[in-house]
Structures are given as C-alpha cells and as structure tokens.
C-alpha cells in the first residue's frame, strides 16, 4: 500500500495484522436496524434498514451518464454552475437535467428562521466548529472503514490532498454565512456531491481493491453509510461542544441541527432517516456510528495525508501539538485506531489549557488565569482552522469516470 509508512505499520502492527487482506467487518451493519422513523423529520417511514437502501433517484441517472461517455462533457458544463440561484447550464443531458432540477429544491420543511440561527451560531462558534470538523470529524472519518475504503479506492484516492480539499469544501460551505441563500453555494455543493456519490456507487464495485476489502458490501455509500458520515459531523461536533462546556443557546443549537438536516436531505438522504432532534441524533449515532469505528490500512494512509497537510503550516513543527489536540478531540480509542502519536508533553498541557481558553473566550474567567503556554495552543488551532478553510478554496467537484488507477 503506497503511503503507508513503516512507522505507522509498527505503531498499529497488531491491529493491522489481525485485519489481514480483507480488513475488519463493520459490526453495526450486521445488527438489526432498530431506530424508529417516528423520530425523523418525516415523522414516519417504512423503517427499512438503511444499509440496504441507496439512492434510487440519482444512481440510474449517473450510471447512464458514465456508460454513455458523457462525463467529460458534463463536468465541463457543471464548472459554470456555482451559485444556488443560477440556472443549470444549457447542454446537460435531459435525464441529468431533470434529476438535478428536482434535487436542487429545498425541502418543504426548511425553516428560514432556523437557518438564520445557524449563521449566528457559526459567527460565534466558528473557531470550535472549524477545529472539530478538521481535527475531529476529518480524522474520525479515517476510522470509519467503509468511508476510508470508498475514498481510497475511488478515483480521488489517487490524489489524497485534492480529495481532502474537496471534502473540506462541504464543511466550509455549510458554515458559510450565505450557505442556503440565493447567492450562496451550498445547494450546488450538495447536488454535485450527490452526483459524485452516485457515480462512485456505479464504479467502485468494479474495483478489485475495494471488492476484496469491502467486508461483503456489494454497493458502497448506502443510506446507512451516509448517516454514519453525517453523525461524524454535526452530532460529534455538538457532543464535543457540550464536553468542552461551550455555551450554546437552544436557538443556536436548533439552528445548527437544522442546517445539517437540510444538508442531509439535499445530499439524498431520505427524510425518514434524518433525526428530528439532538436526542434522536444521539440515539441513532449510538447505533450507526459508534460501533463501526475500526482500523484499516486505508484509514492509516488517509490519516498520514491529513497530518502531512497540517505539517505544511510550519515544516512540521506544530504536528506534535496537532497530534495531541486531535487525541484530545477524538479520544484515545479513535487516536489508537488511526495511529496518532502519543505526545507526553503536549497532551497534559492541552487537557489543562484548552478548557481555560474556552472559558476565557466565553467570558467565564478573566485573562490573568490563562497560562502563557495556552496561547501557543490557541495560535496553532487558529492557523489550522485557516488552513482548513483555505483547502476549501474555489474547487470543482467533478463526477469520476473511473476508479483509483493503481
């Protein structure tokens, strides 16, 4: 496996040895689905196990686009579509245009007042969410076996930095102040991401590397997989904000949940699987996300790439600090699964300093109580958040027409 360093192999040798060539099964997918659709934004549903549901609207359309050889033409046209209020480009195949016109519509239950509250939340808590998306959710994704393998063996896996930048775009756009406004870009980002997912579902089963490590899954990116990823973002972030004792009003909390509910819908997740409240989100996450976390060689590779991007900040000088903050954020269990180094100097310092920085930022304690070393942590995290946002510079989300070349 290219990119999997000898040092990482030594760190996780026991785990990877046990995984063998096929990797680990994901136990949550083997359990009966028990989360009730009455807890969803739809309030009802068939209750079908989402592991056996994909995207019946998008999948046949993208399969046809790929099989007709239309991908280069479509990608060229879609580069012109960047704003929510723009008409779709002329010249798109009729079946794709019809699907996209339907897919770009906001759900009937979208609440503009709550979306405005999400903007206020981002203005106040942006440094926390930026750090948590990048050093929390981003690294946790490498401990989600299906997600790590789907990324690694798809076309984007050949250029991990570009792939990570495209993934970061979703986190950046959802927090943008104009996200779902006419001048914003989030609808465009969601629809293009949905197209990419549908293309990957068509292509990845043709990849020997993916097929040999998929743990029995024959079609990737099921509704269950999408919800696992969803929980690694808003559900995880809100849990950590509570752990860090960051004050968040009910209005702000509801707004943050709502912007992600709308995002889930526009990504093609069925309304019967989208939690209607934080209590329901946490309940679903305990079944869908928590049990599936595991180590994989592909996840190890992705972790190294993420941390190498961080090292670009200052030739790697802050990487030990970022390792420590990431362990503090995702916990030792996930830190061990993805091979994060132990940092005996930085870990205790961050555990002591970060809560004080949070309390100071929220006006709960005065400045004199903050140790000087804490500001080193603050500056490193600030730089990381800027880097994370910078990676989401204007970039084209393109439909793949092949899998990872190697």
Task: Please check whether residue 39 is in contact with residue 276, taking contact to mean a CB–CB distance below 8 angstroms.
Answer: yes
Give the pLDDT means over successive 10-residue stretches in the chain (406 positions): 34 28 38 91 96 97 98 97 96 98 98 95 87 86 92 80 69 84 95 97 94 90 96 96 95 97 98 98 96 92 78 67 89 92 91 88 79 73 62 72 86
Residue 87: both structure tokens together: 């008409």
CA–CA distance, 31 with 34 (Å, rounded to integer): 9
Q: Residue 19 has what pLDDT?
A: 27
Partners of 82 in the beta sheet?
Answer: none
Residue 265: both structure tokens together: 């819908």
Q: Residue 246 has what pLDDT?
A: 94
Angle of helix 223-230 relative to helix 278-288, nearest 10 degrees, comes to: 120
Residue 305: both structure tokens together: 């790439």
CA–CA distance, 54 with 197 (Å, rounded to integer): 10
CA–CA distance, 98 with 65 (Å, rounded to integer): 13
CA–CA distance, 140 with 282 (Å, rounded to integer): 16
CA–CA distance, 291 with 239 (Å, rounded to integer): 17
CA–CA distance, 43 with 29 (Å, rounded to integer): 23
Q: Measure CA 226 to chain center.
A: 9
Nearest to 143, CA basis, from 296, 30, 28, 308: 296
Residue 174, CA distances (Å) to 33, 177, 288, 290 in order: 29, 8, 23, 24
Q: Residue 165 has what pLDDT?
A: 66
Altogether, the residues listed in the chain come to a count of 406
Q: How many CB atoms lie within 10 A of CB 248?
A: 18
């Amino acid at each position: 496996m290219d990119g999997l360093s000898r040092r990482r192999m030594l760190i996780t040798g026991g785990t990877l040895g046990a995984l063998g060539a096929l990797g680990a099964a994901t136990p949550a997918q083997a359990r009966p689905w028990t989360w009730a659709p009455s807890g969803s934004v739809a309030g009802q549903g068939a209750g079908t196990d989402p592991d056996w549901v994909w995207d019946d609207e998008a999948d046949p359309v993208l399969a046809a686009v790929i099989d007709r050889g239309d991908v280069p033409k479509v990608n060229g046209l879609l580069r012109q579509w960047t704003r929510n209020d723009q008409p779709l480009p002329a010249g798109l195949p009729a079946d794709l245009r019809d699907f996209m016109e339907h897919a770009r519509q906001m759900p009937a239950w979208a609440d503009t007042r709550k979306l405005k509250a999400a903007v206020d939340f981002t203005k106040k808590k942006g440094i926390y969410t930026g750090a948590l998306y990048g050093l929390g959710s981003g690294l946790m994704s490498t401990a989600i076996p299906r997600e790590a393998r789907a990324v690694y063996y798809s076309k984007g896996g050949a250029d991990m930095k570009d792939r990570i930048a495209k993934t970061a775009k979703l986190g950046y756009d959802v927090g943008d102040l104009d996200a779902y406004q006419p001048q914003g870009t989030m609808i465009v980002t969601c629809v293009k991401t949905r197209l990419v997912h549908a293309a990957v579902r068509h292509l990845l089963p043709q990849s020997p590397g993916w097929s040999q490590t998929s743990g029995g899954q024959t079609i990737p990116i099921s509704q269950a997989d999408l919800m696992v990823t969803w929980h690694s973002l808003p559900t995880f972030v809100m849990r950590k904000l509570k752990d860090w004792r960051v004050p968040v009003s009910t209005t702000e909390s509801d707004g943050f949940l709502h912007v992600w509910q709308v995002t889930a819908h526009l990504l093609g997740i069925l309304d019967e699987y989208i939690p209607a409240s934080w209590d329901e989100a946490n309940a679903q996450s305990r079944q869908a996300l928590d049990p599936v976390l595991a180590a994989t060689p592909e996840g190890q590779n992705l972790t190294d790439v993420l941390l190498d991007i961080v090292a670009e900040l200052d030739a790697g000088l802050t990487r030990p600090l970022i390792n420590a903050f990431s362990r503090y954020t995702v916990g030792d269990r996930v830190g061990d699964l993805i091979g994060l180094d132990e940092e005996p100097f930085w870990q205790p310092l961050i555990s002591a300093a970060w809560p004080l920085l949070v309390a100071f930022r929220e006006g709960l304690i005065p400045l004199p109580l903050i140790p000087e070393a804490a500001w080193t942590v603050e500056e490193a995290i600030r730089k990381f958040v800027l880097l994370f946002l910078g990676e989401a510079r204007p970039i084209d989300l393109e439909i793949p027409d092949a899998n990872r070349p190697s």
